[in-house]
Amino acid sequence: MTHPFKTVDASRVSISQLMQPSHSNFGGKIHGGYILSLMDQIAFACASKHSEAYCVTASVDTVDFLNPIEIGELVTMKASVNHVGRTSMVVGIRVESENIQTGAIKHCNSSYFTMVAKDNTGNPVAVPGLILNDKTEVKRFLKALKRKETKQNRLQEFNSTSFSLDAYIEVLKGYNIKIDLPDHYQ
């Protein structure tokens, strides 16, 4: 690592790819798994560029497919480091598709990939800090902190030894489910 801090712009990456019939699902739209694979690749490129190290995907947060992508559209993915920890980075990715005949652009997905920098032996390594240059970058950093806090609270609640199913049974009655537990679970 040559820099103790890097700007968001220093590791920003974008890719564009024309969607072909081989990328489609049975419904004739571009397969979500194919888009996720491209997103993982751009997250790797962005995180590796920031950390100057090999990176692995630790988690993916908030994958919402907002609009379908059609065969023949040009998909553009834009990635930037939104947050850094000691050895991890949150890479924000925006996916847009463009109808190349009409020029119409659709926002298709925004997702957040947590990437961890590794050395040649597979151990986590420290990553450069992040220089935030504008309000948007500060907002993205703060939103990443909030997502992390929410995730930790959720894990703490549901993994706690004091977690009680009884505390949630009433809440579940409003859902389209039937609870049919064996007697020893009730």
Q: What is the pLDDT of residue 2?
A: 52
| Alpha-carbon torsion, ordered 114, 119, 125, 130, to 10 deg | -60
Residue 36 inside a domain? The answer is: yes
Between CA 64 and CA 79 the distance in angstroms is: 16
The CA-to-CA distance between both ends of the chain, in Å, stands at: 55
Given a cut of 90, is residue 120 above it in pLDDT? yes
Residue 104 inside a domain? The answer is: yes
Residue 83 inside a domain? The answer is: yes
The answer to whether the pTM exceeds 0.75 is yes
Q: What is the pLDDT of residue 1?
A: 47
Kind of pairing between the strands at 129-131 and 5-7: parallel
Q: Fill in the DSSP letter of residue 175.
A: S
Q: pLDDT tens for residues 64-91?
A: 899 999 999 999 999 999 999 999 999 9
Between CA 3 and CA 24 the distance in angstroms is: 42
Residue 44 inside a domain? The answer is: yes
Residue 186 inside a domain? The answer is: no
pLDDT band per the 50, 70, 90 thresholds, residue 184: low
Across the chain, what does the average pLDDT equal? Answer: 93
Given a cut of 60, is residue 130 above it in pLDDT? yes
Domain that holds residue 76: 5-132
Run of H or E including 42? helix 32-51
Residue 138 inside a domain? The answer is: no
Q: pLDDT tens for residues 53-64?
A: 999 999 999 888
Residue 143 inside a domain? The answer is: no
How many domains does the structure of the chain reveal?
Answer: 1
Kindly report the CATH number assigned to the domain that includes residue 100. Answer: 3.10.129.10
Residue 40 inside a domain? The answer is: yes
Q: Report yes or no: 169 and 179 within 8 Å, Cβ to Cβ.
A: yes
